[in-house]
Structure 1
Amino acid sequence: MTSTAPAPAQATKPTGTTRPEHLIIRLMTPADTQEVALLFEKTFRREPLGEYHGVEPGEGTSVAQASVQDPVSFVAEDTTLPGPSRLVAFRTSCISTAEGLQAKKDRIAKEGHGDAIQAILNRVSDLWLAKSTVFEKNPKAKVMKFMALGVDTGYEGKGLAKDLLKVSMEKAVEVGCEAVTVVASAFATQHLFGNRLGFELMGRIRYSEFTWINEKTGKEERPFENLVNPEFLEVYEKKLV
């Protein structure tokens, strides 16, 4: 009897990388979901939104599960660790379409945002959608959305973030995406995408001025009124065709 088990995700090594050989990058698989969820919850606490507002229970799981819907997310694995937990970094992404974005809007209208972080992320994504011309030019277009990046403590400065970004951009081209979009919550990512990688700023929200109706209390709140470093949450886009 022949086996029908899927082939393992292939490791990749971009040219010109400074990453040590024992740190491999490969496509994320459903088997990685739990590890990515735990690493997200650990690393997101360093981001301005996570540091200021905290991480909601199950948030990492939601991100990880959304990240394996399309084969465009990558993880970094330290092959010297004994395992089974060997993931030390990730770059999660998903594919957006006009149809999928409308379905999300309909779901939010029915069920709500869930929490303040999701509310502000959804609001800034709406700014991107209002300005982008991708779907006007091609209603069937695909856009890759960078969802999250995380590098575990002790693995910073080893080229993982750079290589994860490179293979993700290459994957976007490979799967036929016409653009890439990203929400940047910190100075470092805003500088990277806006000044070094040629992404266009599509919209920004001043954290301190953002208001939403708390769906648990029904009251209007300013959940980030004291978040001033950085001053803005920003969304960027880069055309690929």
Structure 2
Amino acid sequence: MASTTRQTRPDHLVARLMTHADKPEVAELFASTFQREPLGAYCGVTLDEGYSVAKASMVDPVSFVVEDPTLPGPKRLVAFRTSSILTKVRLAADKAATAGEDDHNPVQEVLGHMKYLWLEKTTVFTTNPEAKVMKFIALGVDIRYEGLGLAKELLNLAMDKAREIGCTAVMVVASAFATQHLFGKRLGFELMGRVRYSEFRTKDGRRPFENLHEPEFLEVYEKKLE
């Protein structure tokens, strides 16, 4: 029987908060890594989408990156976990700003739909109108650095930051089998809503994911923080 060797995390890798200077690298890393996610593989990913993710990830200082300082540069980022903070005021402002807009990006439309499925079920803002919720936006690990535990390290950093700044809960949309198993089975997140990819309809009635069947569902999860 072939033996498997578990790789250890190199000590020289540096995990730190994301800065504005990191946005171009995060955008490129997102564009390359999201292609391995079901939505990215099905619809394709553009660099512009990567820049949108990077921009949204800098609204609050809650996103993290891992860099390898031994790389020749100028590009040294090898992983990221991006997040933002949701509040009742921000959600209302976002809803007002997007009311009546036609979003021709089906991925953004379905992600927006998942956010509102979560809002219909969460009790976070009912019990505390001033509550803060950390929303995980995206995760990416350079394929050359997979198997080193960087995804778990970035997750722990993000969860610690959420507790540090007084978040009541964490919310995440999980698009793949692996992330659904991670959040729903291993980390104790509660399933708050799901939509079958093949049946989702956009505002104009299209079914952009009608041939996407693995996984069957896009899911949104929440975990309350103590």
| TM bucket, shorter chain | over 0.9
Q: Distance in 1 between matches of 2:174 and 2:97?
A: 24
Shift of 1:54: 1.0
Pairs within 5 Å for 1:175-190? 175-190=165-180
String of CA shifts for 1:181-200, please: whole Å, max 9, x gaps: 00000000000000000100
Q: Does the alignment pair 1:73 with 2:63?
A: yes
Segments of 4+ moved more than 6 angstroms: none
The within-5 A match list for 1:109-148 is 109-148=99-138
**Which secondary structure does the structure 2 equivalent of 1:124 belong to?**
helix
Q: Can you give the 5+ residue segments of structure 2 that lack an aligned partner in the other structure?
A: 1-7
Amino-acid identity (%): 66
TM-score using structure 1 length: 0.89
Alignment pair present for 1:222 and 2:212: no
Aligned to 1:86: 76
**Structure 2 CA distance for aligned equivalents of residues 212 and 66 of structure 1:** 23
Structure 1: distance between partners of 2:63 and 2:102: 27
Cα distance in 2 between the residues matched to 1:49 and 1:148: 13
Quote the residue 1:235 is aligned against: 220
Equivalence for 1:98: 88
Q: Return the alpha-carbon distance in structure 2 between the equivalents of residues 146 and 53 of structure 1.
A: 21
Find the counterpart in structure 2 of residue 27 from structure 1: 17
The 8 Å contact of residues 191 and 219 in structure 2, kept in 1 or not, is answered as: yes
Match in the other structure for 1:10 = none
Q: 2:145 is paired with a residue of what secondary structure? A: coil
Q: In 1, Cα distance between the equivalents of 2:75 and 2:225?
A: 35
1:160 pairs with 2:155? no
Q: Give the Cα–Cα distance (whole angstroms) in 1 for the partners of residues 155 and 116 of structure 2.
A: 24
Gaps (5+ residues) in structure 1? 1-17, 215-219
Aligned residues: 220
Equivalent AA in structure 1 for residue 85 of structure 2:
I
**How do 1:173-212 residues align onto structure 2 when only pairs under 5 Å count?**
173-212=163-202
Structure-1 separation of matches of 2:58 and 2:189: 25
Is residue 27–residue 47 contact of structure 2 (8 Å, CA) maintained in 1? no
What do residues 53-84 of structure 1 show as CA deviations (whole Å, max 9, x unaligned)? 11245111011011011010000001210112
CA distance, structure 1, for counterparts of residue 170 and residue 104 of structure 2: 25
